[in-house]
Amino acid sequence: MAKGNKTKEAKSKTITLKMAQNSIELTRDGKRRLDLSYKEISSVPKCIQKLCDVDELDLSRNLMMEVPDFLDLFTNIRVLDLHSNYLEQVPETISRLQNLQVLNLCNNRLTTLPNEIGLLSKLHTLNLGLNQLNDLPSTIAALKELRNIGLSDNRFTRVPGCLSRLNDLEKVNLDRNPFLTEHSRSQGSVLITNRLYVVKESILCDDCLSKCQMERKTLEDAVKKKDPNLLVTQDDREM
């Protein structure tokens, strides 16, 4: 991860209310975006609470180790960008951002996510790449508006079962995860990584769909004989 190249010990800068106000810009669709990326801040200044009516908030590429406890005041935001920080957890209060459509948590130090993330009913895109996740909360299955989820460069050894409940999901990026294979299982190693993308059945032609279904059944039958635990369980499907 590029994170190792950061200088965490760098002195955090101070952001004043005036500086924050000057960092507000209009997006192409006329939304107000507060851009505090690349500011070398280790904590979010409380003064930005006065700007909680913005539509988008960018706190990416900073030195933050935690999400500020007042972030839930930004109830209008559609986009929240926290990528490339040092975050180790996401607060349960994230669920109060009920208008959130895009959440970028890529390139942090997350090992788990709160169950409350499943309450973000309008969430369309969720980027969790470049973290240390090996599982997802089952509540992710409640995100019926979710279309894109990025899970690359984590520690997943199998496809999270909750994804099978998201019928309208269009893209899943599970690239560069240590998926268990029959060979790696027998050798006691999880060093083999595969590329895996999930697409909707509706975009496949009949021949491709039939071929995928046959190959999947063959693979499932072979894995079940060796170790049924490698397959998505019924419990996973039912949350």
Tokens 């007042």 sit on residue = 70
Give the full edge-to-edge strand order of the sheet including 24-26: 24-26, 32-35, 56-58, 79-81, 102-104, 125-127, 148-150, 171-173, 197-198
pLDDT of residue 42: 94
Q: Quick count: other Cβ atoms within 10 Å of Cβ 10?
A: 10
The two three-digit tokens of residue 152, written as one number? 């690359």
The CA distance from 231 to 161, in Å, is: 9
Give strand pairing partners of 102: 79, 125
The count of domains in the chain is 1
Give strand pairing partners of 198: 172
Of 159, 98, 104, the closest CA to residue 126 belongs to 104
Mean pLDDT along residues 187-211: 53
pLDDT higher than 80, residue 14: yes
Give me the domain span that covers residue 164.
2-237
Burial 156-194 (b: 16+ CB within 10 A, else e): bebbbbbbebbeebeebbbbbbbbbbeebbeeeeeeeee
Cβ-based neighbours of 192, under 8 Å, separated by 6 or more: 178, 179, 181, 183, 184
Q: Within the chain, what is the greatest distance between any pair of CA atoms?
A: 65
pLDDT higher than 80, residue 213: no
CATH code at 184? Answer: 3.80.10.10
pTM of the model: 0.75
Per-residue pLDDT reduced to its tens digit, 138-172: 999 999 999 999 999 999 999 999 999 999 999 99
